[in-house]
Amino acid sequence: MRALMKIGAGLLVLAFVLIGVSYSMLKAYGSSSPSSTAGRSLGSEARKIDAMATSVELSGPIDLILMQGPAASLRVRGEQRSLANIETVQDGRELHIGTKGMLLNPRHRLQVELVLPSLEELVVSSSGDTKVSGFNGEQLELQLHGSGNVTFSGRYRSLTAGAHGSGNLNLNAGSTENVELEMVGSGQITASGSCKVLNAELTGSGDLDARHLAAEKVTVNLKGSGTSHVFAKQSADLTLRGSGDIRVLGNPDQRNVSRTGSGDVSWE
């Protein structure tokens, strides 16, 4: 009986100790809890990067504003308690931007403002909105994965862009030579400008709206149920495998269509 009483007393003491520890942890957590005004206040923080970065990888629920400028700079914005959750790591020419740890239900979206002298590659695996402007060069590869949205405006001799998932990709390519587009999933690619050659590969239910991208030669390979609009001045080489439709503007002289399925081609 005495042994049982000792065990009971020990458990009671242990319970009080655990209650005290829990109270201390909750008190310390208060500054970053959802009800904390200080933790909810907006702030910003500069991060160190250099001009070697030409390849950017973005992941997580972050809005990115990426601009061309003579000096490289990076600033993160958001609630004070969430700034430490934004991870920015540079390894030579590669810059990774993402999140770490637990995001405590922020009321305001995380945002990164990035300035780089040049850009050669951008990979976005994010649910946020990305805006890219001001860059030019020989070649750019731009890939969107997931449900985010990317808006791009730039001038490159060759542009390769892809949308994989349910996100939307909006491209203003200016005047360029070659545009390569790939759509996999249910998203949408919208392209404008002018080019000599447009090659488009589409798989799934996603749509391509390139009616405002005036191309001399167009090649489209459509597999699925999506709808494509293109503008071809000289030639259009079209392959349809499925129920998707292709609408061709520009009245090109050279027309080649290979069709298997219920999809249709219309000319204007």
Lowest mean pLDDT among 34-48, 103-117, 243-257: 34-48
Q: Residue 237 maps to which CATH number?
A: 2.160.20.120
Count Cβ neighbours within 10 Å for each residue of 179-203 and write b for 16 or more, e otherwise: bbbbbbbbbbbbbbbbbebbbbbbb
Please give the torsion angle defined by the CA atoms of residues 139, 132, 76 and 81, in that order, rounded to the nearest 10 degrees.
-120
Q: What is the mean pLDDT of the chain?
A: 90
pLDDT of 185 above 80:
yes
Average pLDDT estimate for 252-256: 98
Residue 209 lies in a domain: yes
Residue with more model confidence, 224 or 105: 224
Rounded CA-CA distance 214/236 in Å is 12
- Structural domain boundaries enclosing 145: 119-268
Q: How far is CA 200 from the centre of its chain?
A: 20
pLDDT mean over 77-101: 95
Is residue 152 included in any domain, yes or no?
yes
For 151-158, the CB contacts below 8 A with 24+ separation are: 154/119
Across residues 201-211, what is the average pLDDT?
A: 98
Kindly state whether residue 29 falls inside one of the protein's structural domains: no
Q: Would 258 be classed as within a structural domain? A: yes
How crowded is residue 235: how many other Cβ atoms within 10 Å of its Cβ? 17
User: pLDDT-derived band of residue 3, with 50, 70 and 90 as boundaries?
Assistant: low
Q: What percentage of the chain exceeds 90 in pLDDT? A: 79
Residues belonging to the chain:
268
Across 9-13, 137-141, 145-149, least confident range: 9-13
**Residue at 93 is within a domain:** no
Is 214 inside a domain boundary? yes
pLDDT band at 25 (very low <50, low <70, confident <90, very high): very low
Q: What pLDDT does residue 82 have?
A: 87
pLDDT of residue 104: 62
Residue 27: which pLDDT band, with cuts at 50, 70 and 90?
very low
Tell me, what's the pLDDT at 141? Answer: 99
The pLDDT score that the predictor gives to residue 21 is 44
Residue 97 lies in a domain: no
Q: Is the pLDDT of residue 246 over 90?
A: yes
Give domain status of residue 208, yes or no: yes
Amino acid at 182: E
pLDDT band at 188 (very low <50, low <70, confident <90, very high): very high
User: Strand 227-241 vs strand 207-224: parallel, antiparallel, or unpaired?
Assistant: parallel
The model's pTM = 0.84
| Proportion of the chain above pLDDT 70, given as a percent | 84
Q: How many structural domains are present in the chain?
A: 1
DSSP 157-217: EEEEEEEEES-EEEEEEEEEEEEEEEEEES-EEEEEEEEEEEEEEEEES-EEEEEEEEEEE
Decide: helix, strand or coil at residue 63. strand
